[in-house]
Amino acid sequence: MPMQPPRIGGTRTRKAWEQTRPMPVKRVRGRAGQKARAQVIAEEPLCRICLAQGRTRMTEIVDHIKPLAWGGSDERSNKQGLCVPCHDEKSKAERAIDAEQRRRFDLTR
């Protein structure tokens, strides 16, 4: 029989089909929220930013134009359909603005 390497952390081995991490908590979305999201996608099947730049990509995410964290509303007028790359880019820009504002706030104290 071949030599087995020593086991660290007990004798139990993980089965191939077992999760290594706990399952992510499913975000609870109300029926009204689902309906509102479906409405935006139905009205804007193509990413708004891509469309403005002459590209056609499917809407994958319903985005708050003015983020809720910045006081944006949850109304239809503040929502737009975006593809994942555009949403990622927008989120990144928003995080940069947040960081800059925090930095400025720190400087004034």
- Which residues would be at the binding site for Zn ion (CB under 5 A)? 47, 49-50, 57, 83, 86
Cα 22 from Cα 47, distance rounded (Å)? 33
* CB nearer Zn ion, residue 88 or residue 100: 88
* CB nearer Zn ion, residue 62 or residue 86: 86
In 8-107, which residue ranges form alpha helices assigned H by DSSP?
31-43, 48-52, 84-107
* CB nearer Zn ion, residue 16 or residue 41: 41
Task: Kindly state the smallest distance separating residue 65's Cβ from Zn ion, in Å.
Answer: 14
Q: Is 53 helix (H, G, I), strand (E, B) or coil?
A: coil
Task: Kindly state the smallest distance separating residue 84's Cβ from Zn ion, in Å.
Answer: 8
Question: What does R_g of the chain's alpha carbons equal in angstroms?
Answer: 22
* CB nearer Zn ion, residue 20 or residue 81: 81
Name the DSSP letter for residue 29. Answer: -
Task: Kindly state the smallest distance separating residue 72's Cβ from Zn ion, in Å.
Answer: 19
Q: 68-77 — which CB contacts under 8 Å span 24+ positions?
A: 70/94, 76/36, 76/39, 76/40
Task: Kindly state the smallest distance separating residue 96's Cβ from Zn ion, in Å.
Answer: 19
